[in-house]
Structure 1
Amino acid sequence: MKRLNIGCGVVYHPDWINLDKIPQSPTIQPYDICNPLPFAEDSIDVCYSSHVLEHLTQEQAQAFIADCWRILKPNGIIRIVVPDLEAIVKTYLSCLESVAMAKQPDPIALANYHWLMLELLDQINRRFPGGEMANFLGNPQLLNRDFIRDRIGQEAEGFWTAPKTNFSLQTRLKHKNWGWFLAKSRYLVAAWMVRLIAGKSGQRAFCEGVFRQSGEIHQWMYDRVSLAALLSKNRFQDIQVCQAMDSQIRGFNDYQLDIIDGKVRKPDSLFMEARKGEF
């Protein structure tokens, strides 16, 4: 059985074919999601992608889902995981109401409200790596760790437990390959040329544009209606919302992609599966 994990990041299993733009392991194949999937028609049993689709424009997302349909075998399964816009909005409104109706300010309720504002807006609008979310999470006086942990799971834990060592420039450069040096050199030369022609404001606009095309920001958001519509438009059938621990994919939880050590890896997610129909 051929199972495909597209945009796997650091969450992958050796029994799957794992693809990512910047492979974190020799077992991961390099792949840019903006290109067609490098597989023949009707050759894959399962396509899985978690927190990738929202980083694509609507046009790119349409092309990606259509390509998943192309490579799946008849009756093959697609599983898409994205941030759940509906759940984020509902929680935001609840936090808003809690703050607005309080007779006395509640610091924790206010912190929850500010976090939900970031969930809604930061990854769409951010202009620098990590954005305001990273600044919020890095606050040593953070009041609502439990709330954030319940919202984004291991992502928060990873941020808080990561070593805060400040490596020297020489040490950091030792871990870079020649491709990184070439890309960085091209970027610096281009930024310098833009500044010569368009001044500081033009250079700032150029640098921000390059960052916004880096893949970090969210280009779109999905709820259960819009994601189902995208799958249906691309001829998928039996579309259904499921829980993190539920799947039509045989033995899915054994691979620890959405559930790790009994915990949901990304609790703020919408999980949806569908099938490619039989001819």
Structure 2
Amino acid sequence: MKLLNFGCGSTFHPAWVNIDIASSSPEVREYDIRKNLPYPDAEFDACYSSHVLEHFQQDEAKKLLTECCRILRDKGIIRVVVPDLEAIAREYLFTLEKVDSGIKEAEPDYDWMMLELYDQTVRSVGGGKMRDFLLNPSINNKDFVRYRIGAEAEKFWEIQAHQKSMRERIMAKSPAWFLQKLRIIIAKYLVALVAGNEAKKSFEEGIFRNSGEIHLWMYDRYSLKRLLEQVGFIDVRICRADDSRIPDFNSYGLDMIEGKIRKPDSLFMEAMKP
């Protein structure tokens, strides 16, 4: 089978064709998936993405899924994983009821759910307030955060525990990343020179908001199903993290890692090309 993992980030398997705007490994092809996918019609048996679609405007997401339909073979499967807006909203309301009834111990859980709702939409710096919350040495609801975001929290705390330096992370970047950073630094100071520091600040925020970290839309079981059907997919189904129509899917370690759900805050959905 030929398999495509688009917008893979650092989660990929060598049995798949892995693409992302920035490569984190020789196994990952650097490509801007906001453009048409660089493959011929009916090239793949399955497509997969995790926590990618919410970083696109609605029309861009529709275009990307249309491209996925084009490159899939007949009866090919697409598996889309996104943050589950419905589950986030329900958990937010549950924690709101608890704090409103006077349960002080629920306040950190309530604060975290507010971050899940809004932080990645409104933040203007990398990691946002969510990063500050996770870095707090007196965090007392680690179990709740772990329940919400699973391996992502564990990975974050592990990096901090081993004090992986900024230098190590920067040195892992590609030459193209360094070139782009240099161009932005030059442009930033030219903007300050011509238009002043307020314009420079606006330029920096604009660059960040277009970096791919921001959530530009969110999905629930109805809106994602409707979108997949609009672009031509059929037999749309909600799945569990460990359940897929893609043969041997769990062996690839994409949604399940050592028997644990990698992103438990997710909506898992699959559909078929007619």
Corresponding position of 1:21: 21
Deviation of residue 272 (structure 1)? 0.3
Rate the CA distance shift 1:241–1:206 in 2: closer, same or farther, 3 A: same
1:237 and 2:234 matched? yes
Q: 1:4 to 1:174 in 2, by over 3 A?
A: closer
After superposition, residues 184-195 of structure 1 pair within 5 angstroms as: 184-195=181-192
Cα shift at 1:174: 5.2
The within-5 A match list for 1:105-124 is: 105-107=103-105, 109-124=106-121
Q: Distance in 1 between matches of 2:206 and 2:62?
A: 23
Q: For the residues of structure 2 that align with 1:263 and 1:226, how far apart are their CA atoms? A: 27
Does structure 1 retain, via aligned residues, the 8 Å contact 2:24–2:172?
no
Q: Residue 254 of structure 1 aligns with which residue?
A: 251
Other-structure match for 1:226: 223
Supply the distance in 2 between the matched residues of 1:66 and 1:174 (Cα, whole angstroms): 36
Q: Taking structure 1 as reference, are residues 204 and 76 closer, same or farther at Cα in structure 2, changes over 3 Å only?
A: same
Query: One-letter code of the match for 1:210?
Result: I
For this pair of structures, how many residues does the alignment match? 272
* Partner Cα separation in structure 1 for residue 221 and residue 164 of structure 2: 41
Match of 2:198 in 1: 201
| Structure 2 residue identity aligned to 1:25 | S
TM-score by length of 2: 0.95
Give the equivalent residue in structure 2 for 1:90: 90
Q: Secondary structure at the match of 1:95?
A: helix
Deviations 1:194-242 (A, max 9, x none): 1122211111100000000000111110000100111010010000111
Given the superposition, is the C-alpha separation of residues 97 and 253 from structure 1 closer, same or farther in structure 2, using an over 3 Å criterion? Answer: same
Deviations 1:151-201 (A, max 9, x none): 00011001111122546x6x7765555423322221112111211222111
- Superposed CA RMSD in Å reads 1.5
**Cross-structure match for 1:141:** 138
User: Contact conserved, 2:120 with 2:213, CA < 8 A, in 1?
Assistant: yes
1:101 aligns to 2:101 (yes or no)? yes
Which residue type is aligned with residue 256 of structure 1?
G
Question: Which consecutive segments of 4 or more residues in structure 1 shift more than 6 A?
Answer: none
User: In structure 2, which of residues 207, 211, 214 is the aligned counterpart of residue 210 of structure 1?
Assistant: 207
Q: Shift in Å at residue 38 of structure 1?
A: 1.1
Q: Trace 1:112-191 onto structure 2 (pairs within 5 A).
A: 112-162=109-159, 163-166=162-165, 175=172, 177-191=174-188
TM-score by length of 1: 0.94
Q: Deviations over 1:236-255 (max 9, x none)?
A: 00001111111111111111
One-letter amino acid of the counterpart of residue 98, structure 1: K
Query: Match for 2:48: what amino acid?
Result: Y
Structure 1: gaps (5+ residues): none
- Paired position in structure 1 for 2:61: 61
Equivalent position amino acid for 1:179 in 2: A
2:104 is matched by which residue type in structure 1?
Answer: D
Deviation at 1:261, TM superposition (A): 0.3
